[in-house]
Amino acid sequence: MRFTTESTSSDGTTERDFVLDGVPGVLWTPPGTPTGLVLGAHGGGQHKRAPGAIARAHLCAAAGLAVVTLDSPGHGERPRTAEDDRFITEIRSRITAGRDAGALLAEYNALLAARAIPEWRSVLDTLPDTGVLPGTGATTGFWGTSMGSAIGIPLVAAEPRIRAAVFGLVGATEALTRAAAAITVPVRFLLQWDDQLIARDAGLAMFDAFATRQKSLHANPGGHGEVPEHELPAAVTFLAG
Amino acid sequence: MRFTTESTSSDGTTERDFVLDGVPGVLWTPPGTPTGLVLGAHGGGQHKRAPGAIARAHLCAAAGLAVVTLDSPGHGERPRTAEDDRFITEIRSRITAGRDAGALLAEYNALLAARAIPEWRSVLDTLPDTGVLPGTGATTGFWGTSMGSAIGIPLVAAEPRIRAAVFGLVGATEALTRAAAAITVPVRFLLQWDDQLIARDAGLAMFDAFATRQKSLHANPGGHGEVPEHELPAAVTFLAG
């Protein structure tokens, strides 16, 4: 993990760019010793420094949590493969034509997850040795909705170092259902009641699939991108608790 | 509204018993001037001073909110009518026999609501003149699940003085759906994912029916009586906000 830049904003949050095995990421740390670490995955078409990712990082930092994020495969500064291009073109054209893109999106997200999971595990292997995050090993959480959940659900299922997770905006598939059945840590699941990309029943089935008894579904009116503001500090409290 | 007893507990909460038009109730007030008033309705088979009602009152008081509760018709110190007895006997016998008591429970709750709604409106008419609650007129909320929601949903639909509501553990019926379509204040709705009394789809349909855009569904694993502890302070924060 090679840190390339470091700056501190007016709220005291320090931001470090890094590259790990060719994958660019950002680490945000609060003033003082962080009380936990959040793995913050972005959604499809977003990147490590999208406005939502930055807002989330500062909210977490204000609660004493460090946040690490990566550009997902084919996103941000990372090159797209020919396969990425084929999927993206076809998904966009289906959405534009008003056709259902759900199954194709799920298929593409599963491919991205297979590429992203080893990258996130590598972050967990490497970050403790950098010395920038003393004492947060036991309290790592995950936060990622939409494509971030398509990556995060199999990641959290495979990764005992992650102790709590915020997921959402994702529908049940066979692979995600199987992964969710292996998740026993506390889960917060966000569902948009009028999600135009995820059928309501598929979202409810996804929540149903988590094996953990400590899970809460928070459903709110609005479309895929309209999670209400109040869910963000509530998710921070959940991860910090 | 005739106050009969007054005592202050070690956390500074003052508790007053009262009788209003023959209906016994309790008013809990925090130390200092309350920032709001919560109408706290109890569930079926409970009463104004059931453990859950007391715990809720102290949580609210700790957040600066006053709480008023009433014995519902046929509950607590109030006499049961012959009709109450017939319903209760038949509902219990169906539950004991493992048969579905939902429709009968909904029918009974609708009858209780018709009797309880004027009593709650009378509390709102009368309480300001008692002088014990200065300055809370604009911030009245309602909190009642199960039978408390069967009463509360038509009450909040009819009562513009109530500005926010916590409902839950209740399934859609024709009458409740119609009432919910008239509710435009913020709503928090609690649903138990494995509720043995309320079918999951009926609970989800109830959430769907509220006209307000400011509504959140919080669903958690467990049966009808197993709402997790963390939802209580979260509901207080919602009502205090």
pLDDT per position as a tens digit, A44-103: 999 999 999 999 999 999 999 999 999 999 999 999 999 999 999 999 999 899 888 888
User: Which residues of B fall within a CB distance of 8 Å from A180?
Assistant: none
State the pLDDT confidence band at B143, using cuts at 50, 70 and 90: very high
Chain centroid to Cα A205, Å, comes to 20
What is the enclosing helix (H) or strand (E) of A217?
Answer: strand A215-220
pLDDT (mean) for B79-85: 95
Do the bridges between strand B162-168 and strand B140-143 make them parallel or antiparallel, or are there none, so unpaired?
parallel
CB-closest option in B217, B221, B230 to A219: B217
Mutate which of A194, A207, A213 to test chain B, going by most B C-beta atoms within 10 A? A213
Q: Test A220 with B217 for CB contact under 8 angstroms.
A: yes
Question: Which one-letter DSSP state was computed for residue B72?
Answer: P
Domains of chain B with CATH codes: 2-240 (3.40.50.1820)
Alpha-helix residue ranges (DSSP H) falling in chain B: 51-62, 82-96, 102-126, 147-158, 174-180, 200-209, 231-240
Q: Are A211 and A182 in contact (CB under 8 A)?
A: yes
CB contact under 8 A, B193 and A217: yes
Question: What is the structure's pLDDT at A137?
Answer: 57
* B171-186 residues labelled b (16+ CB within 10 A) or e (exposed): bbbebbbebbeebebb
Q: Which two tokens stand for residue B203?
A: 């609970």
The confidence band for A227, taking pLDDT boundaries of 50, 70 and 90, is very high
User: What pLDDT does residue A135 have?
Assistant: 65
Among A8-12, A205-209, B148-152, which is the least confidently predicted range?
A8-12
Whether A234 shows a pLDDT value over 90: the answer reads yes
First to last CA, chain A: 28
Taking CB atoms and an 8 Å limit, are A228 and B216 in contact across chains? yes
Q: What is the ipTM of this complex?
A: 0.89
Query: What does the pLDDT read at residue B233?
Result: 95
A228 touches chain B (CB under 8 A): yes
For range B130-159, the mean pLDDT: 89
User: B129 pLDDT exceeds 60?
Assistant: yes
Q: Which residue has the higher pLDDT, A129 or B141?
A: B141
Confirm or reject contact between B204 and chain A (CB < 8 A): yes
Q: With 0.95 as the threshold, say if the pTM is over it.
A: no
Q: pLDDT at residue A175 above 90?
A: yes
Q: Is A3 on the interface with B (CB under 8 A)?
A: no
Average per-residue pLDDT in chain A? 95
Phi, psi of A235 (to 5 degrees): -70, -35
Cβ-proximal residues to B118 (8 Å cutoff; 6+ apart), any chain: none
Q: CA of A218, closest CA in chain B: separation in Å?
A: 5
